[in-house]
Amino acid sequence: MDSARPTETLHTKIIEDIRNKIVEGHWKPGHQLAKETELATRYGVARMTMNKVLTQLAQEGYVTRRKRSGTFVAQARVQSAVLEINNIGEEVAALGHSYSWTLLNSERRRMSQADLRALGVGRKVVEEEVLYLQGIHFAGNNPFCLETRAINLDVVPTALQMNFSKDVPGSWLLNTMPWSTARHQIRAVNASGRDAQLLDLPTGAACLEILRKTKIGTNWVTYARLLYPGEAHQLIAEFEPRAAGEAP
Amino acid sequence: MDSARPTETLHTKIIEDIRNKIVEGHWKPGHQLAKETELATRYGVARMTMNKVLTQLAQEGYVTRRKRSGTFVAQARVQSAVLEINNIGEEVAALGHSYSWTLLNSERRRMSQADLRALGVGRKVVEEEVLYLQGIHFAGNNPFCLETRAINLDVVPTALQMNFSKDVPGSWLLNTMPWSTARHQIRAVNASGRDAQLLDLPTGAACLEILRKTKIGTNWVTYARLLYPGEAHQLIAEFEPRAAGEAP
DNA sequence: CCCCTCGATATGTCTGTACATGTTTGAGGG
DNA sequence: CCCTCAAACATGTACAGACATATCGAGGGG
């Protein structure tokens, strides 16, 4: 019949189908799925098979299940042992400081080559229309993080209607595009003139630079550059052993 | 709250039992497990239940399964999307440079308070007997990483018989204690006098400092401090979305 | 002697049934 | 009217049987 597709089993296909519905936003976080028996008949499989599907999706974190209540799409977040810094406000609060955010600059424009370089984007041809933002996260009265960000207006046009002097762009994006994937580059750099000035640091102070690229499907959503004073900040990463080449 | 143990189902207990055998080293990587049917009768369960156990262990990466051949304990490594730097040699090779390792210092002694501070160990009371090492990883002729390490001789006494001017301690430990867990702290620091000198950097250059604590069960195996010149090195981290509070 | 084919075998997948467990819901009693 | 308790219900777990599929190894043909 069909050529050799080793991973295309029945329950694999159903898992992908449901996962797509969640990732692509047709089923929003909190949405209740039909019950096991109903989904089973709808897909034309036994309940045990459907159970396997839903159990796996629950393990992967896409849904949560409660007895008698049913199965629900989970609250998503781009999470990791390393980078629980998606919400810098929470991070600052955890350190026992008061948090505030100040927007320095916000403009709609096309990405320039300089912007692309500043955000660590390599060799990108198209210069899309973006919302370009810069601002500072404060812990108490001290600058905690300098954020420079470009938001893709093709993907998130509603960003134009937001007032980012009030809402923090990172948090807002996380709530708006919950099922995005992220790629980070982490480096140590010496603070340059303007960066050092904005973070209230002596020139040359070591800083942790995080370049984050966020995608949904094949489209990029946002590029961000987060610059932390080196002494004031560290990332924590905890790892379990895994076999080589496994994806959790 | 409840003294009941909600997670203690049949297959959960079996999974833990087998996982322990692997993690504690009774079953080494490559070891072939008995076949499904045999394990099922041995544990007194149905084959479907045993299948669920082995499928889950395969998903977690502890075993690999091949039809007809059987089930085998996987090759373990402390792996993550972020920190594939367990083998610095491989990392250097991937960048297209030749790799070499130079041991600067090796001594058996008790950890001093200064050592503990240097390795980022907080408030540790016991000062255990360790093998204390320092050395440099080279990419071509350039220093690539300064490594300072303490190995717990209670846990790894065989480390004394090793010649670490030849073998790289990180790789050796990874092969010797395959199923350890790791915790990393990542910071940016300005290179101090001696560190800067060893890495051939100007004083004050930004460096990426990684403090790694490796444990097996409840015992610590090794503390390591890896110092990378900031410009020459960066970590890459790629993340999928997950639900809040899930452990992969 | 080498290569190919063909069973034997272990895992992979799916189905149907049965009972357990934790929640919700609603009816009845204080 | 509120509280309590039990039935209803959705998921959780386990079992047994059946067929599919990939792979190893032995035996036969070139």
Size of interface A-B (CB pairs under 8 A): 185
Strand partners, B25: none
Residues in A touching B183 (Cβ below 8 Å): 236-239
Q: What's the longest Cα–Cα distance across chain A? A: 69
Please indicate, yes or no, whether residues B101 and B160 belong to a single structural domain of this protein: yes
Amino acid at A31: H
pLDDT band at residue A163, thresholds of 50, 70 and 90? very high
Q: How far is the CA of A63 from the C1' of D24 (A)?
A: 41
Please indicate, yes or no, whether residues B53 and B155 belong to a single structural domain of this protein: no
Asked if B174 is an interface residue toward chain A (Cβ–Cβ < 8 A), one would say no
Please indicate, yes or no, whether residues B35 and B158 belong to a single structural domain of this protein: no
| Beta-carbon separation of A79 and B241 below 8 A | yes
Q: Which CATH number covers residue A128?
A: 3.40.1410.10
The answer as to whether B55 is a domain residue is yes
Please indicate, yes or no, whether residues A165 and A215 belong to a single structural domain of this protein: yes
Asked if A122 is an interface residue toward chain B (Cβ–Cβ < 8 A), one would say no
User: Would you say how long chain B is, in residues?
Assistant: 248
Please indicate, yes or no, whether residues B36 and B122 belong to a single structural domain of this protein: no
Residues in A touching B60 (Cβ below 8 Å): 242
Give the separation between CA B230 and CA B133, rounded to whole angstroms.
Answer: 23
Give the separation between CA B73 and CA B20, rounded to whole angstroms.
Answer: 12
**pLDDT at B20 (0 to 100):** 87
For A23, which residue in chain B has the nearest alpha carbon? B241
| Beta-carbon separation of B243 and A205 below 8 A | no
pLDDT at A35 over 80: yes
**pLDDT at A167 (0 to 100):** 92
Q: Which of A182, A205, A233 sits opposite B190 (nearest CB)?
A: A205
Residues in A touching B179 (Cβ below 8 Å): 241
Please indicate, yes or no, whether residues B136 and B21 belong to a single structural domain of this protein: no
Per-residue pLDDT of B73-86, as tens digits, reads 987 655 444 444 55
Phi, psi of A10 (to 5 degrees): -60, -55
Asked if A79 is an interface residue toward chain B (Cβ–Cβ < 8 A), one would say yes
**pLDDT at A125 (0 to 100):** 57
Higher confidence at residue B49 or residue B3?
B49
pLDDT at B6 over 50: no
Q: Which of A84-88, A230-234, B150-154 has the lowest mean pLDDT?
A: A84-88
CA nearest neighbour of A88 among A137, A159, A146: A137
Q: How far is the CA of B166 from the C1' of D5 (A)?
A: 74
**pLDDT at B125 (0 to 100):** 56
Cα atoms found within 13 Å of the Cα of residue B41, Cβ hemisphere only: 4
Give the separation between CA A170 and CA B34, rounded to whole angstroms.
Answer: 50
Asked if B77 is an interface residue toward chain A (Cβ–Cβ < 8 A), one would say yes
Per-residue pLDDT of B159-216, as tens digits, reads 999 999 999 998 888 778 877 777 778 889 999 889 999 999 999 999 999 888 888 8
Task: Find the nucleotide nearest B38 (Cα to C1′).
Answer: C10
Please indicate, yes or no, whether residues B113 and B219 belong to a single structural domain of this protein: yes
Please indicate, yes or no, whether residues A93 and A58 belong to a single structural domain of this protein: no
Strands (E), chain B: 63-66, 70-73, 76-78, 99-110, 129-139, 142-152, 181-190, 206-216, 219-229, 235-239, 241-243
| Beta-carbon separation of A244 and B179 below 8 A | no
Q: Among A38, A73, A108, where does a domain finish?
A: A73
Q: How far is the CA of A6 from the C1' of C4 (A)?
A: 25
Per-residue pLDDT of B17-62, as tens digits, reads 998 888 777 888 889 999 989 999 999 999 899 999 998 888 888 8
Q: Which residue is nearest to nucleotide C9 (CA to C1')?
A: B68
Q: What's the domain range around B225?
A: 88-229
Please indicate, yes or no, whether residues B213 and B116 belong to a single structural domain of this protein: yes
The answer as to whether A1 is a domain residue is no
Higher confidence at residue A244 or residue B103?
B103
pLDDT at B93 over 80: no
pLDDT at A178 over 80: no
Give the separation between CA A245 and CA A242, rounded to whole angstroms.
Answer: 8
Please indicate, yes or no, whether residues B170 and B96 belong to a single structural domain of this protein: yes
| Beta-carbon separation of A234 and B184 below 8 A | no
Give the separation between CA B40 and CA B27, rounded to whole angstroms.
Answer: 18
pLDDT at B5 over 80: no
**pLDDT at A169 (0 to 100):** 93
Task: Find the nucleotide nearest B8 (Cα to C1′).
Answer: D13
Asked if B23 is an interface residue toward chain A (Cβ–Cβ < 8 A), one would say yes
The answer as to whether B114 is a domain residue is yes
Asked if A204 is an interface residue toward chain B (Cβ–Cβ < 8 A), one would say yes
pLDDT at A227 over 80: yes
Higher confidence at residue A184 or residue B4?
A184
**pLDDT at A244 (0 to 100):** 40
Per-residue pLDDT of A71-101, as tens digits, reads 999 876 554 444 445 567 777 777 778 899 9
**pLDDT at A79 (0 to 100):** 47
Which bases of chain D are under 7 A from a protein CB atom?
8-17, 21-24
The answer as to whether B93 is a domain residue is yes
Asked if A74 is an interface residue toward chain B (Cβ–Cβ < 8 A), one would say yes
Per-residue pLDDT of B158-171, as tens digits, reads 999 999 999 999 88
**Percentage above 90 pLDDT, chain B:** 35
Phi, psi of A207 (to 5 degrees): -130, 150
pLDDT at A206 over 90: yes
Q: Which residue is nearest to nucleotide D13 (CA to C1')?
A: B9
Query: How far is the first Cα of chain A from the last one, in angstroms, to the nearest whole number?
Result: 32
Q: Among B22, B49, B73, where does a domain finish?
A: B73
The answer as to whether A238 is a domain residue is no
Give the separation between CA B35 and CA B37, rounded to whole angstroms.
Answer: 6
Please indicate, yes or no, whether residues B22 and B140 belong to a single structural domain of this protein: no
Q: Which of B59, B178, B208 sits opposite A188 (nearest CB)?
A: B208
Q: Which CATH number covers residue A45?
A: 1.10.10.10
The answer as to whether A93 is a domain residue is yes
**pLDDT at A96 (0 to 100):** 74
For A183, which residue in chain B has the nearest alpha carbon? B238
Please indicate, yes or no, whether residues B38 and B140 belong to a single structural domain of this protein: no
pLDDT band at residue A183, thresholds of 50, 70 and 90? confident
Give the separation between CA B30 and CA B115, rounded to whole angstroms.
Answer: 37
The answer as to whether A34 is a domain residue is yes
Domain count, chain A: 2
The answer as to whether A110 is a domain residue is yes
**pLDDT at A238 (0 to 100):** 64
Give the separation between CA B22 and CA B64, rounded to whole angstroms.
Answer: 13
Per-residue pLDDT of B98-139, as tens digits, reads 899 999 999 999 988 888 888 888 766 567 899 999 999 998
Give the separation between CA B88 and CA B170, rounded to whole angstroms.
Answer: 8
Closest approach of B163 to chain A, Cα-based (Å)? 26
